[in-house]
Chains A and B, each alone.
Chain A
Amino acid sequence: MSQWLNKVIDDAKGVDDFLAPMRQQAISKLQTQGWPHPRSEEWRFTPLSSLKERVVALSPVNATYDIPQIDGLGAIDIIFADGVMLTDLNELSLPVGLSVYSIANAPSDAQAKITALFGNVKPTRHIFGLVNDALCQQGIYVEVDENCIIDTPLRIVNIATKDCDAHTRALVNLGKNSQLKVIEHGSGSTSSFTTAFAEYVIGQEAELEHYRFAFFTGAAKQVGGSHFSLQNSAKLNSTFVSYGSELSRLDVDIIHAGEHAFAKMKAIYLLAEGELFDLHSTIEHAMPNGTTQENARGIIGDRARAVFSGRIHIHRDAQKTLAELNNRNLLLSRRAIINTKPELEIYADDVQCAHGATVAEIEEKALYYLLSRGIKRSKALVMLNFGFIQELVNAVNDEHIRTWLLPLLSERFANMEVK
């Protein structure tokens, strides 16, 4: 067992709210499962040793926080700082058809909805998902009414500034034929540990445009997940962008629970120094006529390591599924590592599937050619190697996010050293 997990379980036993029965289940699972074995498939390339014996110092909440901004986005911001919700939901003016409740003080009718959705989409295989189940006292429940198109994006900001643990949760329920844009925006660089999990139910013919930015660096550890359940003809367009830190892991589950659902998922990761980022995605095609397009691309510099595990599971009934999964990586140094594993598991006989993974290195001759024409090294590297990342950014739907993201990523890339 781990000192840190023992503390988690002790703390969780003291949490008494309307989610207690579910928290109790999570605690039992944690007690039975224990700490993951270092060679378990889930954590094979992602060492958890920095977390195992972690001791958390209690630190007071800051008076002021620097909230990351996305110019022009005009989103409704729900802000969590070091695991505590700073936003007063009563002060928000929400568009008609959109409701947001706090888990910490939900009225009884919302409690019933939260209980119904909690843990419904997120699989229970994940130890940190269970930790979050047991400890997330702060979080939100979001509901979009049937037939409502919400134009204003909703941004859930998670910033870690202290040496503390933070566990937050988001539950989002899109009614039939509704539309919503959600941005999960996380960042931190101090010696914090954040678990942030989000569960989405996308109703029949509803559309979710989703973004998750995991800009945790340095000693800021984070483990989180975004999990989606798609009903009949639901649409999901999701973009993940991540840096790496001492420990950074995201799990994505997309479940085609209804027929004719469409899911597009993009992931971008740029890792420098000794950073680690681990992305596990699982696409479950449980019903027929579903489509999934998954594209993950990363650049790994210096001594950094990326782990990509992408699984598409096509159940026996999921006939006429179209599924594509592609993972491309560029290594900037001899010491950079990528462990990539695209997986297809198909039990239906009438499906179209493709998957692939590639790894490339900087081409010395091409770089020399550009330099010999006076182009600065940083610019030349961007021209030669950033293109395949830029391609994904250019495909981002939201204009403001695209405009904000491109210079951010190209600057990070330009500062990554090639060795």
Chain B
Amino acid sequence: MLKINNLHASVEEKVILKGLNLEIKPGEVHAIMGPNGAGKSTLGYVLSGRDGYEVQDGNVHFNDQDLFDMEIEERASNGLFLAFQYPVEIAGVSNMEFMKESVNATREQRGEEPLSATEFLKTAKEACKQVQLPLDFLKRGVNEGFSGGEKKRNEIMQMILLKPSLCILDESDSGLDVDALQVVANGVNSQRDPERSFIIITHYQRLLDYIKPDYVHILADGKIVKTGDASLALKVEKEGYAFLGKEYEGVSA
């Protein structure tokens, strides 16, 4: 599904990722934890192709294609999905129009017919209910005036509608109360599938109470420094990152 090999990347000439390796097979859930500034969000942006994030070395293969040969929109329509930590507000474009365009772009890529307005509305309403957002959120401007939790649920709704093969969730749990956290976790769990993989970037173990990861990786200083199973997340929760070595002593989870 995804193979990251010796990835080096920088933002504004500052090197953030310094030789990251990671392999994800279909159906797997990988959690990535790590101290602030380790490069967790950068990884999400580099994979999705954001401007300003420069790859200096290494390569990434996504479904056996060179990811860096693909434009942002190609990566997305080929099944890579990034749930944003800070989803963007776009006034003047309705949530409905936005999601219909994105769903149909993906369908076109798969060689499927575009959905009509009525067909899409039906699917969108179901997804909207699933993430427990009122239906009028479909008519509002994209994320316009949404609360933090509503924005995160809107991201999960898009994930449900787009049916990507690789979902990267960038701190989808941050700023959520327990109820909202469960909505997000249920949304993710409903999409778990032998063909669909997840990268869950998080600061906290608590999301992993609801979404059971197959692997937990600790990202520090641009590299994966430790990999384990779900118990590694519990260890971080309890002890912080001190076990990584001297420079992380006192850094809490």
Q: Which residues of A contact B (CB under 8 A)?
A: 364-366, 368-377, 379-380, 383-384, 387-388
- Residues of the A chain whose Cβ atoms lie less than 8 Å from the Cβ of B88: 365-366, 368-369
Chain B nearest CB, measured from A383 CB (Å): 5
Residues of B72-103 at the interface with A, using a CB-CB cut-off of 8 Å, are 72-73, 76-77, 82, 84, 87-88, 90, 92-93, 97-99, 101-102
The reply to whether B93 and A374 form a contact with Cβ atoms under 8 Å apart is no
Question: What 6 new A-B contacts, CB under 8 Å, besides A374-B73, A379-B101?
Answer: A369-B87, A372-B76, A373-B158, A375-B102, A376-B105, A383-B98
Chain A nearest CB, measured from B78 CB (Å): 8
Chain B interface helix/strand/loop/mixed? helix
- Residues of the B chain whose Cβ atoms lie less than 8 Å from the Cβ of A373: 76, 98-99, 101-102, 105, 158, 162
Residues of B160-191 at the interface with A, using a CB-CB cut-off of 8 Å, are 162
Chain A nearest CB, measured from B88 CB (Å): 4
- Roughly how many angstroms separate A369 CA and B89 CA in the complex, as a whole number? 9
- Roughly how many angstroms separate A128 CA and B74 CA in the complex, as a whole number? 51
Chain B nearest CB, measured from A364 CB (Å): 7
Chain A nearest CB, measured from B57 CB (Å): 23
Q: What is the total of A-B residue contacts with beta carbons within 8 Å?
A: 69
Chain B nearest CB, measured from A366 CB (Å): 5
- Residues of the B chain whose Cβ atoms lie less than 8 Å from the Cβ of A364: 51
Interface: B106 (CB within 8 A): yes
Instruction: Give the residue name and chain of the B residue nearest to A387 (CB).
Output: B92
- Residues of the B chain whose Cβ atoms lie less than 8 Å from the Cβ of A366: 88, 90
The reply to whether B90 and A375 form a contact with Cβ atoms under 8 Å apart is no
- Residues of the A chain whose Cβ atoms lie less than 8 Å from the Cβ of B98: 370, 373, 375, 383
- Roughly how many angstroms separate A380 CA and B102 CA in the complex, as a whole number? 10
* Most central of A366, A368, A371 by chain B CB within 10 Å: A371
Interface: B50 (CB within 8 A): yes
* Most central of A364, A368, A377, A384 by chain B CB within 10 Å: A368
The reply to whether B97 and A374 form a contact with Cβ atoms under 8 Å apart is no
Residue-wise, chain B 40-73 has the 8 Å CB interface mask toward A (1 for contact) of 0000000011110000000000000000000111
The reply to whether B92 and A372 form a contact with Cβ atoms under 8 Å apart is no
A–B pairs, 19, beta carbons within 8 Å? A365-B88, A369-B90, A370-B90, A370-B93, A370-B102, A371-B71, A371-B73, A372-B49, A372-B72, A373-B99, A373-B158, A373-B162, A374-B76, A374-B105, A374-B109, A374-B162, A375-B101, A383-B98, A387-B92
